[in-house]
């Protein structure tokens, strides 16, 4: 099967039809969610502390939903108007912006506590126009991303490299931009379940002794093709056990976000987030 990035440029491949099909496909929803939760694990954020995160190539907001579910505030960037349109229709909670990340991402220095990107950066290895030089676009992207990250922040990119040259090109440009870190491979011995995560740390280029250690990849004894991800959290989620995060703090955060966005939101009261008794 040919890779999507060989078919057409992303803004054309992800047209209205594809954006809708992509978003309602339950298999895609599950895979994107599992990859996102694994990326969040690799981000290693403190539990129950909301952070300000960047989602690179946010698409229709499937990965972003997982960030919101864990209480984070996020900004999503994507090149496809159609994908962003579906994200808006779905009332995705992130702030969404059109962006070709190969031209750079422009935010104030140190804005974000972390960044995730699911199934996106392989697109930057392609030259869709005569003016596109993949190495240069990757370097521009990583340099501007580095600036946007708070010192100590992590960026985790799950991606589908076509070959080892692409992996090397991506890692080299990220290191040139000032990041430390490298590649984490989950299920390295399975052709089906093998997954690549580029884990980057900002702020340790001149302090390598204090740079975090690269996390270990997952290795599963049972057939990993049947169990995509295996953390306790994954098991719980797969069994439908969701963390009970819809408490008073969660409701107040959601209301605050609504107010910032100019939505009509009910006032807080002593009843906010209180468990209600049974209705008769």
Ligand X SMILES: C[S@@+](CC[C@H](N)C(=O)[O-])C[C@H]1O[C@@H](n2cnc3c(N)ncnc32)[C@H](O)[C@@H]1O
Structure tokens at 10: 């992303």
Question: Least distance (Å) from ligand X to the CB of residue 83?
Answer: 4
Nearer to ligand X, 124 or 156 (CB): 124
* Cα angle, residue 227 at apex, residues 222 and 232 outer, rounded to 5°: 100
Nearer to ligand X, 80 or 173 (CB): 80
CB 69 within 8 A of CB 98: no
Question: Least distance (Å) from ligand X to the CB of residue 208?
Answer: 30
Question: Least distance (Å) from ligand X to the CB of residue 44?
Answer: 20
CB 115 within 8 A of CB 156: yes
Nearer to ligand X, 138 or 184 (CB): 138
Nearer to ligand X, 53 or 77 (CB): 77
Nearer to ligand X, 194 or 255 (CB): 194
Question: Least distance (Å) from ligand X to the CB of residue 77?
Answer: 6
Question: Least distance (Å) from ligand X to the CB of residue 14?
Answer: 4
Question: Least distance (Å) from ligand X to the CB of residue 218?
Answer: 19
Question: Least distance (Å) from ligand X to the CB of residue 242?
Answer: 19
Q: Which residue, judged by CB position, is nearest to ligand X in the bound state?
A: 59
Nearer to ligand X, 80 or 180 (CB): 80
CB 112 within 8 A of CB 54: yes
| HEC per residue, the chain | CCCHHHHCCHHHHCCHHHHHHHHHCHHHHHHHHHHHHHHHHHHCCCCCCCCEEEEECCCCCHHHHHHHHCCCEEEEEECCHHHHHHHHHCCCCCEEEECCHHHCCCCCCCCEEEEEEECCHHHHHCCCCCCCCHHHHHHHHHHHHHHHEEEEEEEEEEECCCCHHHHHHHHHHHHHCCCEEEEEEECCCCCCCCEEEEEEECCCCCCHHHCCCCCCCCCCCCCCCCCCCCCHHHHHHHCCCCCCCCCHHHHHHHHHHHHHCCCCCCCCCCCCCCCCCCCC
Nearer to ligand X, 79 or 156 (CB): 79
Nearer to ligand X, 184 or 203 (CB): 184
Which residues bind to ligand X, rule: CB under 6 A? 10, 14, 32, 57-59, 62-63, 77-80, 83, 99-102, 118-120, 123-124
Question: Least distance (Å) from ligand X to the CB of residue 270?
Answer: 39
CB 205 within 8 A of CB 233: no
């Amino acid at each position: 099967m040919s890779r999507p990035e060989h078919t057409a440029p992303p803004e054309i491949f992800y047209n209205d039809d594809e954006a809708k099909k992509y978003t309602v496909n339950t298999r895609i929803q599950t895979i994107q969610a599992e990859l996102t939760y694994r990326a969040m694990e690799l981000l290693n954020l403190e539990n129950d502390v909301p952070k300000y995160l960047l989602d690179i190539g946010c698409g229709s907001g499937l990965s972003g939903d997982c960030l919101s579910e864990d209480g984070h505030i996020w900004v999503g960037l994507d090149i496809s108007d159609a994908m962003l349109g579906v994200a808006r229709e779905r009332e995705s909670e992130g702030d969404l912006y059109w962006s070709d990340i190969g031209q750079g991402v422009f935010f104030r220095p140190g804005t974000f506590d972390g960044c995730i990107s699911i199934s996106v950066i392989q697109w930057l290895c392609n030259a869709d126009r005569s003016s596109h030089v993949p190495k240069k676009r990757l370097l521009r992207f990583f340099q501007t991303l580095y600036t946007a990250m708070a010192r100590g922040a992590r960026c985790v990119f799950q991606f589908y490299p076509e070959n080892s040259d692409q992996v090397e090109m991506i890692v080299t440009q990220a290191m040139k931009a000032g990041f430390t870190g490298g590649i984490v491979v989950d299920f390295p011995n399975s052709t089906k379940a093998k997954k690549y995560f580029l884990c980057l740390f900002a702020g340790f280029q001149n302090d390598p002794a204090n740079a975090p250690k690269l996390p270990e990849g997952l290795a599963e004894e049972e057939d990993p093709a049947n169990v995509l991800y295996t953390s306790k959290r994954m098991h719980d989620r797969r069994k439908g056990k969701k963390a009970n995060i819809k408490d008073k703090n969660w409701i107040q955060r959601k209301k605050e976000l609504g107010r910032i966005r100019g939505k009509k939101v009910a006032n807080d009261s002593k009843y906010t987030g209180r468990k209600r008794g049974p209705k008769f």
